[in-house]
Amino acid sequence: MRTAVKGIALNTFRESARNKVFYLLVFFGVLFALSSKLVSFLTLGDAMKVLKDTGLAAIHFFSALIAVFTGVNLVYKEIEKKTVLNILSKPVSRDQFIFGKFLGLALTMLVALAVMAGIFFVFVALNGGGFDPAIALYFLMLLLELLIIVAISLLFSSFTTPILSFIFTLSLYLIGHVMWTYNEFKVVLKAPLWRGFARFLYYLLPNLAKFNIKNEVVLGTPPGAWTVLLSILYALAYILALLCLTILIFRRREFS
Amino acid sequence: MPRRLLAVVALAGLLLAAGAQNRYDAVVDYFGDRAAFVSLPSGQTLKVLSFGFQNLAADMLFIWSIQFYSTYHITNRFEFLERVFEVITDITPTYKEPYIVGALIMVYEAKDIPMALRLLDKGARHNPGDWVFELDAGFYCYKYLKDFARAEAYYNRAAAQPGAPSFIRRMKAHMVYLRDDPQAATRMWLDIYRNAESTLERDSAFNHLYQIKAENDLPLLRDKIAVFRGRWGRWPDALPDLVRPGLLAALPRDFAGNDYIYDPQQGTVTAQRIFRWKKR
Amino acid sequence: MKALEIKGLRKTFRSNFMLKKYRVLKGIDLEVERGEIYGFLGPNGAGKTTTIKCVLGLLNADGGEVLVEGRPVAAIDSRRCVGFLPENPYFYDYLTARELLTFAASLFDLPPPAVRERIGALLHRVGLSGREDLKLRKYSKGMIQRLGLAQALINDPDLLILDEPFSGLDPIGRKDMRALIFSLREAGKTVFFSSHILQDMEMMVDRVGIILDGVIRRQGKLSELIARSTQYYEVACTGIAEGRLAQIQSNYAVRDGHYVLTLASDADVNLVVESIIHNDGRIIAVTPVKMTLEDIFFSEMRNGQ
State how far the Cα of B1 lies from the Cα of A240, in Å rounded to an integer. Answer: 14
Q: Do both C218 and C244 map to the same domain?
A: no
Q: Do both C246 and C106 map to the same domain?
A: no
Asked whether residue C305 is assigned to any structural domain, the reply reads no
Q: Is B14 helix (H, G, I), strand (E, B) or coil?
A: helix
Average pLDDT estimate for A106-134: 89
Asked whether residue C25 is assigned to any structural domain, the reply reads yes
Q: Which of A181, A226, A241 sits opposite B10 (nearest CB)?
A: A241
Q: Which residue has the higher pLDDT, C110 or A138?
A: A138
- Average confidence score pLDDT of chain A: 86
Residue of A nearest to C148 (CA): A86
Chain A: give the shortest CA distance to residue B218, in Å.
55
Q: Do both C105 and C149 map to the same domain?
A: yes
In CATH, what number is assigned to the domain containing residue C20? 3.40.50.300
Residue C282 phi, psi (nearest 5): -125, 125
Asked if A9 has any chain C CB less than 8 Å from its own CB, the reply is no
Selection from A15-29, A177-191, B95-109 with the highest mean pLDDT: B95-109
State how far the Cα of A254 lies from the Cα of B79, in Å rounded to an integer. Answer: 60
State how far the Cα of B29 lies from the Cα of B34, in Å rounded to an integer. Answer: 7
Cross-chain residue pair B13–A183, CB shorter than 8 Å: no
Asked whether residue C67 is assigned to any structural domain, the reply reads yes
Asked whether residue B201 is assigned to any structural domain, the reply reads no
Selection from A224-233, B29-38, B259-268 with the highest mean pLDDT: A224-233
pLDDT at residue B280 is higher than 50:
no
Q: What is the pLDDT of residues C293-302, one digit of tens each?
A: 667 777 777 7
Which chains have at least 3 CB atom pairs separated by less than 8 Å from chain A? B, C
Asked whether residue B99 is assigned to any structural domain, the reply reads yes
Residue B61 phi, psi (nearest 5): -65, -40
State how far the Cα of A7 lies from the Cα of A147, in Å rounded to an integer. Answer: 20
Q: Which of B6, B12, B64 sits opposite A247 (nearest CB)?
A: B6
Cross-chain residue pair C92–A82, CB shorter than 8 Å: no
Asked whether residue B78 is assigned to any structural domain, the reply reads yes
| pLDDT value of residue B17 | 92
Asked whether residue C299 is assigned to any structural domain, the reply reads no
Say what the pTM is.
0.70
Longest Cα pair distance anywhere in chain B, in angstroms?
A: 118
- Number of domains within chain B: 1
> What is the DSSP-derived secondary structure letter of residue C110?
-
Q: What is the pLDDT of residues C139-185, one digit of tens each?
A: 888 889 999 999 999 999 999 999 999 887 888 888 888 999 999 99
Average pLDDT estimate for B189-195: 88
Cross-chain residue pair C90–A255, CB shorter than 8 Å: no
Quick count: other Cβ atoms within 10 Å of Cβ C72? 11
Q: Do both C205 and C236 map to the same domain?
A: no
> What is the DSSP-derived secondary structure letter of residue B143?
I
pLDDT at residue A39 is higher than 70:
no
State how far the Cα of C178 lies from the Cα of C39, in Å rounded to an integer. Answer: 13
Give burial (CB, 10 Å; 0-12/13-18/19+) of A33. Answer: buried
In CATH, what number is assigned to the domain containing residue C275? 3.30.70
Which chains have at least 3 CB atom pairs separated by less than 8 Å from chain C? A
Residue after which a domain boundary falls, among C198, C226, C254: C226
Q: What is the pLDDT of residues A144-177, one digit of tens each?
A: 999 999 999 999 988 888 889 889 999 999 888 8
Domain that holds residue B82: 30-127
State how far the Cα of B171 lies from the Cα of B139, in Å rounded to an integer. Answer: 9
Asked whether residue C263 is assigned to any structural domain, the reply reads yes
Integer angstrom CA distances of residue B137 from A177, B100, C27: 38, 10, 83
Residue B44 pLDDT level (bands cut at 50, 70, 90): low
C→A contacts (Cβ < 8 Å), by residue, are: 13, 50, 53, 56-60, 76-77, 79-80, 82, 84, 86, 89-92, 94-95, 99, 103-104, 106-109, 151, 155
Residue A255 phi, psi (nearest 5): -120, 90
Domain that holds residue C219: 4-226
| pLDDT value of residue A42 | 62
Residue after which a domain boundary falls, among C226, C251, C270: C226
Cross-chain residue pair B60–A178, CB shorter than 8 Å: yes
Average pLDDT estimate for A77-85: 86
Q: Which residue has the higher pLDDT, A180 or B256?
A: B256
- Number of domains within chain C: 2
* A/C Cβ contact: 3+ pairs below 8 Å: yes
Integer angstrom CA distances of residue C157 from A91, C39, C79, C80, C120: 12, 18, 9, 8, 17
Q: What is the pLDDT of residues B160-169, one digit of tens each?
A: 888 888 888 8
Least confident of A35-49, A82-96, C132-146, C258-272: A35-49
Q: What is the pLDDT of residues B98-153, one digit of tens each?
A: 898 889 888 888 888 899 999 999 998 898 888 899 999 999 998 888 888 888 88
Asked whether residue B177 is assigned to any structural domain, the reply reads no
Amino acid identity of residue B196, one-letter, is A
Residue of C nearest to A19 (CA): C94
pLDDT at residue B35 is higher than 50:
no
Q: Do both C164 and C272 map to the same domain?
A: no
Asked whether residue C266 is assigned to any structural domain, the reply reads yes
Q: Do both C234 and C218 map to the same domain?
A: no
pLDDT at residue B34 is higher than 50:
no
Cross-chain residue pair B13–A237, CB shorter than 8 Å: yes
- Average confidence score pLDDT of chain B: 82
Asked whether residue B269 is assigned to any structural domain, the reply reads no
Average pLDDT estimate for B55-77: 73
Residue of A nearest to B66 (CA): A184
Q: Is C14 helix (H, G, I), strand (E, B) or coil?
A: strand
| pLDDT value of residue C154 | 92
Asked whether residue C298 is assigned to any structural domain, the reply reads no
Chain A: give the shortest CA distance to residue B17, in Å.
5
Asked whether residue B253 is assigned to any structural domain, the reply reads no
Residue B41 pLDDT level (bands cut at 50, 70, 90): low
Average pLDDT estimate for A184-210: 84
CA A180 vs. chain centroid, Å, equals 19
Q: Which of C91, C94, C107 sits opposite A90 (nearest CB)?
A: C107
Q: Do both C123 and C65 map to the same domain?
A: yes
Contact C28, C214 (CB under 8 A): yes
Residue of C nearest to A9 (CA): C103
Q: Do both C143 and C238 map to the same domain?
A: no
The strand pairing partners of B261, in sequence order, are B270
Q: Do both C204 and C234 map to the same domain?
A: no
CB contact burial B118-148 (16+ within 10 A = b; e otherwise): bbbebbbebbeebbbbbbbbbbbbbeeeebb
State how far the Cα of A142 lies from the Cα of A67, in Å rounded to an integer. Answer: 11
Asked whether residue B245 is assigned to any structural domain, the reply reads no
Closest CA relative to residue C25, chosen from C263, C211, C149, C293 = C211
Residue after which a domain boundary falls, among C226, C261, C281: C226
Q: Do both C286 and C143 map to the same domain?
A: no
- Measured between beta carbons, the chain B residues lying within 8 angstroms of A218 are none
The rounded percent of chain A whose pLDDT value lies above 90 is 38
Cross-chain residue pair B27–A224, CB shorter than 8 Å: yes
| pLDDT value of residue B33 | 45
Q: Which residues of chain C have pLDDT under 50?
A: none
**∠ CA A163-A167-A170 to the nearest 5 degrees?**
135
Q: Do both C43 and C164 map to the same domain?
A: yes
Q: Do both C255 and C273 map to the same domain?
A: yes
Chain C: give the shortest CA distance to residue A121, in Å.
32
CA C209 vs. chain centroid, Å, equals 8
Residue B54 pLDDT level (bands cut at 50, 70, 90): low
Asked whether residue C273 is assigned to any structural domain, the reply reads yes
Q: Which residues contact C60 (CB under 8 A, 6 or more apart)?
A: A252, A254, C54
Asked whether residue B108 is assigned to any structural domain, the reply reads yes
**∠ CA A31-A102-C110 to the nearest 5 degrees?**
120
- C99 Ramachandran zone, left/alpha/beta (phi>0; psi -120 to 50): alpha
Chain A: give the shortest CA distance to residue C205, in Å.
24
